[in-house]
Structure 1
Amino acid sequence: MTFQLDLDIAAPAAHVFDFVADFTTMPRWYVAVQRVERVTGTRGLGTRYRVYRELPGGPALNEVSITKYSEGEEVVFTSLSGPTPFTYRYLVRPSPDTTKLILEGTISAAGLTGPAALLGPLAERLFKGGMRDNLGTLKQLLETSAAPPQLSGGTT
């Protein structure tokens, strides 16, 4: 399945990019991701991660690598091993009032086991709806963390 989702985020483009380009932030906003460990690299092309997910068929482990990287603009994560092979391409586009985040992805139900394996096409459709929810959480998290500090309402 190939999909594209986009959203406008009221946060600076650099903040949005830095957050999504670091796969270790995923457990904070992507419900299926339980834990992420950086295996190699610190940032950018070739950085690899171990991603522990909870899928309909049970726990799953994927190794993921950054396969394309353009600072501040684009990062591509590609699964190298594990079930449900995927590629996520995040594009960050600043505009005057917001930052547009575009997610282009491909994901397959390959590797699902048990009853979940029989639901391949349905699982893929459910994934897209779930990813919309995940991106909604990401938007809220980024907008909250990028908000200027609130001044207390005291009088002088």
Structure 2
Amino acid sequence: MAALQDDGRIGECAIFISRSLHFAWGRGNPAWDAAPEPEPTTASALVDEIGRRSVTQAQFVQPDPAGEIELPGGQRFTPSPAPTKWAHVRVVFDYNDAAGETVREVGLFFDTQVDPALPAGQRYFTPAQLINPGRLKVLERLPNKLIREAGVRQTFEYILPF
């Protein structure tokens, strides 16, 4: 049987990091509040997307027991100047992004295309401002819905293995 090689995984990670990356949030289904549904592996969109923001940071990382990037399970990573098979993706939403909205799911998209007529430097986009939503790489349904408050700068981080 053939085995995937680390060299190829590193290359895939490098290609991914170089793409147009956007982090989206959606209202989801209010029925999930009582009975959360597991994330499907066949989704290509969020349920009732609110908007999306250009990723703040995408970088190579490597496992490091003393690393400053910590996952909920306790595994730690540190940034790597050399390409690796792990990507750290971080997004920081602005205070007013989706203020007052109820968020039940989030997702990381690549190859999103936004309307070229939008102002240069715009980083938050509504679904109507997209020419092509791109492809959904990661989908997470939040165990507890999130009510967006204008006084909070919401941050999400993921380590993606390749």
TM-score, normalisation: structure 1: 0.30
Higher relative contact order (CA 8 A, sep 6+): 2
TM-score, normalisation: structure 2: 0.29
